[in-house]
Chains A and B, each alone.
Chain A
């Protein structure tokens, strides 16, 4: 064993973790090398000093200060709860109430409008054919039961439906889509 290996094995030796063979080699080197022996003794002394360091005790008023801080934390938690309660309708501040109410109305109104809009556009072949001669938007479109913005014309007959699937006038081309705007 050389001095470098001896140094690496000092802690395992002091912890009693060296195997028998390693222990023998360690002890042999210790007896033969005064420098390493001195290093080992010095290490033992240093560890004893570290263990003998007088332990500190926490200050006498530590508990009092700690519990004071804990009380502050608890009070802050309660204050947060009260702040949350202030957001409820009973006891709301005027500006907050107005802002909350307005935003609620806007959300409900926009949801209502979105839900009542017809998503599927109506294909009205008859109206499109008539558009070649007259302005379709000037024609009065009879009301139907459908409440959406875009609706089917009441004059639509089954031929229109047939014309969608089996277009008569446009055997090979894609029929144009004619949207009829609902008059309010």
Chain B
């Protein structure tokens, strides 16, 4: 039986028994999804890569922490989410300086991000940037749930377990988060009809 036919729970059980190929298969399945999720959270490609690595290292060193009470994906997303939140807390504590303040001549530094390629065309690039900026402006609780539901397309049940709140609260936060995001986009002059 080929390994890609195994479920996530079967693979983690095999890895707990010492099969490192099962670990590699899990990394292959989840690295892109988690990379997306973490990037939308921290809005920094390098940090997202570091946090993705930390997530998989935690999976490697704490494999026996997983119990088949919840889905494996829920457990993995919880690890990634906690690492991303910790990183955001650290970033908020540190003072940040504009890169332009550090330049010797009076040039302004403009960083381009992957969001320039998120949508095609000039308008698309602008929408992508504004969307990410609006996401970043959301309170963390709303932002997490919007990313998990509307970008990662997870179910309410999974989101409830990852975030650790009841399903009713998840639905309420989704609605309020979406309305808030909509208002932020309107303020930026975006028409998304």
Which A residues are closer than 8 A to B by beta carbons? 7-8, 10-12, 39, 41-43, 45-59, 62-63, 65-66, 69-70, 73
B187 CB to nearest chain A CB (Å): 13
Which B residues are closer than 8 A to A by beta carbons? 24, 27, 31-33, 35-36, 39, 49, 52-53, 56-57, 60-61, 114, 117-119, 127-128, 131, 146, 150-151, 153, 171, 174-175, 178-179, 181-182, 185-186, 191-193
Given contacts A42-B192, A47-B150, A49-B127, A58 and B49 within 8 Å (CB-CB): yes
Chain B contacts for A43, CB-based, 8 A: 178-179, 182
Q: Which residue in A51, A52, A73 is a CB contact (below 8 Å) of B119?
A: A52
* CB<8 Å pairs between A and B, sample of 12: A12-B171, A12-B175, A43-B182, A47-B178, A49-B119, A50-B150, A51-B153, A53-B118, A53-B131, A62-B52, A69-B53, A73-B60
Most buried by B among A58, A62, A63: A58
Chain A contacts for B32, CB-based, 8 A: 55-58
Chain B contacts for A63, CB-based, 8 A: 24, 27
Chain A contacts for B131, CB-based, 8 A: 49-50, 53
Chain A contacts for B171, CB-based, 8 A: 11-12
| Contacting pair A66 B56 (CB below 8 A) | yes
B64 CB to nearest chain A CB (Å): 15
Chain A contacts for B174, CB-based, 8 A: 11
| Contacting pair B192 A45 (CB below 8 A) | yes
Chain B contacts for A7, CB-based, 8 A: 179
| Contacting pair B192 A70 (CB below 8 A) | no
| Contacting pair A56 B39 (CB below 8 A) | yes
How distant is the Cα of A80 from the Cα of B185 in the complex, in angstroms?
54
> Which 9 A-B pairs have CB atoms at the shortest separation, nearest pair first?
A11-B175, A45-B192, A50-B150, A58-B31, A58-B35, A45-B193, A46-B192, A56-B36, A57-B32
How distant is the Cα of A7 from the Cα of B27 in the complex, in angstroms?
41
| Contacting pair A56 B114 (CB below 8 A) | yes
How distant is the Cα of A70 from the Cα of B53 in the complex, in angstroms?
10
Q: Which residue in B128, B151, B179 is a CB contact (below 8 Å) of A10?
A: B179
Besides A7-B179, A46-B192, 5 new A-B residue pairs in contact (Cβ under 8 A), listed by A number: A42-B192, A43-B179, A48-B192, A50-B131, A55-B36
How distant is the Cα of A14 from the Cα of B140 in the complex, in angstroms?
23
Nearest to B39 among chain A residues (CB) is A56
Chain A contacts for B193, CB-based, 8 A: 41-42, 45
| Contacting pair A65 B53 (CB below 8 A) | yes
A67 CB to nearest chain B CB (Å): 9
Nearest to B31 among chain A residues (CB) is A58
A35 CB to nearest chain B CB (Å): 13
Given contacts A62-B53, A66-B53, A53 and B27 within 8 Å (CB-CB): no
Most buried by B among A8, A50, A51, A66: A50
A96 CB to nearest chain B CB (Å): 30
| Contacting pair B118 A54 (CB below 8 A) | yes
Chain B contacts for A65, CB-based, 8 A: 53
How distant is the Cα of A123 from the Cα of B156 in the complex, in angstroms?
81
Nearest to A74 among chain B residues (CB) is B60
Chain B contacts for A54, CB-based, 8 A: 117-119
B125 CB to nearest chain A CB (Å): 11
A47 CB to nearest chain B CB (Å): 6
Chain B contacts for A48, CB-based, 8 A: 192
Chain A contacts for B175, CB-based, 8 A: 8, 10-12
